[in-house]
């Protein structure tokens, strides 16, 4: 999981960040365009640089409740029913 590119990760609640916010989000974040998730995860916690824009703050706020899984655990797919199918 930590090898996924931050800007194109499908698992963020906002979807791929570059699609939602455009390329400007990379500049605003002060992170390289090829940054992996491991760049913002330290010792199992989110460690983003200080927010410099409302968009970065929204990105960070959306993930604070999401715990990064243990590297010792395997990923698994879970299908959940939603109201829209």
pLDDT, tens digit, 9 for 90 and up, residues 29-46: 999 999 988 888 887 778
Q: Is the pTM of this model over 0.85?
A: no
Judged by DSSP in three states, 41 sits in strand
pLDDT tens, 68-83? 555 666 666 667 777 7
With b for 16 or more beta-carbon neighbours within 10 A and e for fewer, the 55-78 pattern comes to bbeebbeebeeeebeeeeeeeeee
pLDDT tens, 1-14? 445 888 998 888 88
Report d(CA 32, CA 36) in Å as an integer. 9
- The alpha carbon of 38 is separated from its chain's Cα centroid by a whole number of angstroms, namely 10
Beta bridge partners of 46: 41
């Amino acid at each position: 999981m930590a090898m996924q590119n931050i800007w194109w990760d499908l698992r963020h609640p906002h979807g791929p960040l570059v699609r939602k916010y455009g390329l400007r989000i990379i500049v605003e974040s002060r992170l390289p365009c090829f940054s992996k998730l491991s760049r913002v995860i330290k010792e199992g916690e989110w460690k983003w640089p200080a927010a410099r824009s409302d968009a970065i703050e929204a990105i960070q706020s959306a993930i604070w409740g999401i715990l990064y899984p243990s590297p010792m655990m395997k990923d698994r797919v879970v299908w959940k029913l939603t109201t829209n199918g």
